[in-house]
Amino acid sequence: MRGNRSRNAMDNRFPVEMLLPDGNVIEGIIRLSCTGYNHDPLMLELKFMHRSLDAVAYTVFDALKLLRLQLEPEGIMLLCNGACENVAYIVYETISRLPEAIDDLYAYVLQMGERPKMTHQKNMLEYDPALRLATVQEQEAFYQKWLESLE
Q: Domain of 118?
A: 10-149
User: Where does the pLDDT of residue 53 fall: very low under 50, low under 70, confident under 90, or very high at 90 and above?
Assistant: very high
Look at residue 35 in the predicted model and tell me its pLDDT: 63
Residue 5 included in any domain: no
Residue 67, Cβ density class (10 Å: 0-12 exposed, 13-18 middle, ≥19 buried): buried
Residue 1 included in any domain: no
Candidates 117, 91, 95, 120; CA nearest to 104 is 91
Residue 61 included in any domain: yes
Compute the distance between CA of residue 78 and CA of residue 134 in angstroms, rounded to an integer.
10
**Is the distance from CB of 147 to CB of 140 less than 8 angstroms?**
no
Q: Is the pLDDT of residue 37 over 90?
A: no
Residue 23, Cβ density class (10 Å: 0-12 exposed, 13-18 middle, ≥19 buried): exposed
User: Where does the pLDDT of residue 38 fall: very low under 50, low under 70, confident under 90, or very high at 90 and above?
Assistant: low
**Is the distance from CB of 77 to CB of 83 less than 8 angstroms?**
yes
Residue 3 included in any domain: no
Residue 49 included in any domain: yes
